[in-house]
Structure 1
Amino acid sequence: MAETSKTSISSILGVLLWTALSIAMVVIGSMYIDKCEVQPKIPIYLIVAGVVHLVGFLLSLLKLVSEKAMYGIEGVMGIFSLCWFIAGSVWVFSIYQNHPRNCDDTLYKFAFGILIFEYIFLAFLFVVTCVFTCCIGFQTANADAERTHLGSNVP
């Protein structure tokens, strides 16, 4: 029971964190929409990414109604989010070396920080997936070895 409660709390905290970041992305992008002459797509990136995250959270409630429809929507949104993430990375990181940047410092640093946060999050998910996959593989191999060993002892 306590483990389920911890999982629920961590899920809620995760959703709250991503929701807050998504709202901040929309707000910062909107506030500084004309403040990045060298790369005007950076505020657009923040606004669109924030809105897509928020829509994704809201649409996740559709799973309660129609799980099959939600898989298709999640797939399309996932592909779009990946492409948008790559585009945002190109736009933000391409002007990293520019001095002066001709882009509002708050806008640029926020977009840069969001992207770095997302890269770290993706790396964490990758490592967790690899560890989980290895554990399942070892568990399956051990179960197969036990079955083989038990099968050879039967007269």
Structure 2
Amino acid sequence: MSIFETVKAIRKTKGDTPAQILTLILLVIFLTSMFFTGALKLNDCPAEPFIPKWLLVMGIFGLLRLLVSQVCNRMVDDDEENCCQGACECMLEVFLFAWFVAGSVWVFRTYGDVSYTKDSENYCERPLFRFSFVIQLGTYILMGSSLCCCCMFGCMAAIMDD
């Protein structure tokens, strides 16, 4: 039995763990804050008008991705193949990745020139820009940490097999 089959079997018998529920709640709060920050500050960054739009769209589609995943997982039996669910999730993931890359370009391109004084040509409201910057930087740190952990566990597994 593979590790994925074991996890599926445990999840099927025990349901969601408190850690999974807490993670889901925190993710919903985070994505909702992205949505509302982008919506409320839509015209507050003339230096790069796409930054608030990036937050707004990322929040909406992130929430949609969670909703599709949760609803489909509750409705479809684990043994049943759902091609439509997989295709929807894949399209959403590809879109979210592409939108994240676009947001990276907009945020990091503006980083050196941004001004927090309203009279400036490169004005962007401080909380809006910093929130976007922290999201980008935090995501890159998490991706890098995850990659390092995967490599470390892969190397440990290879050593243990020998």
Q: TM-score range by the shorter chain?
A: 0.7 to 0.9
Distance 1:73 1:129, change over 3 A: farther
| From 31, 34, 47, the counterpart of 2:40 | 31
Distance 1:22 1:60 in 2: 15
- Matched residues, number: 138
Q: Decide which of 43, 67, 73 is 1:63's aligned counterpart.
A: 73
- Give me the CA root mean square deviation: 2.2
Residue 135 of structure 1, CA deviation: 3.0
| Mapping 1:1-155, distance limit 5 Å | 8-61=17-70, 62-64=72-74, 65=76, 67-100=82-115, 101-139=122-160, 141-142=161-162
Give the equivalent residue in structure 2 for 1:151: none
After superposition, what is the alpha-carbon deviation per residue over 1:111-144, rounded to whole angstroms, capped at 9, x for unaligned? Answer: 11111121122122212222232233233x33xx
SS of 2:42's equivalent?
A: coil
Question: More helix by proportion, 1 or 2?
Answer: 1
The whole-number CA distance in structure 2 between the counterparts of 1:99 and 1:36 is: 9
Shift of 1:11: 1.9
Q: Percent identity, please.
A: 28
Gaps of 5+ in 1: 143-155
User: What TM-score does the superposition give when structure 1 sets the normalisation length?
Assistant: 0.79
Q: Give the partner amino acid of 1:26.
A: F
| C-alpha separation in 2, matches of 1:132 and 1:32 | 42
Structure 2 spans left out of the alignment, 5+ residues: 1-10, 116-121
1:15 and 1:67 map into 2 onto residues whose CA distance is 22
Letter in 2 for 1:88: G
Task: Give the Å deviation of 1:28.
Answer: 0.4
Q: Give per-residue Cα distances to partners, 1:90-125, cap 9 Å, x unaligned.
A: 101111111524111111011111111211221222
1:16-60 CA-partner distances (Å, limit 9, x unpaired)? 222111000000001100111110000000011111110111111
Shift of 1:80: 1.1
Q: For the pair shown, which has the larger CA radius of gyration, 1 or 2?
A: 1
Work out whether residues 63 and 70 of structure 1, in 8 Å CA contact, stay in contact via their aligned partners in 2: no
In 2, the alpha carbon distance for the partners of 1:125 and 1:99 equals 31
| Cα 1:136–1:57 shift into 2, 3 Å | same
TM-score relative to the length of structure 2: 0.76
Question: Deviating runs (4+, > 6 A) in structure 1?
Answer: none
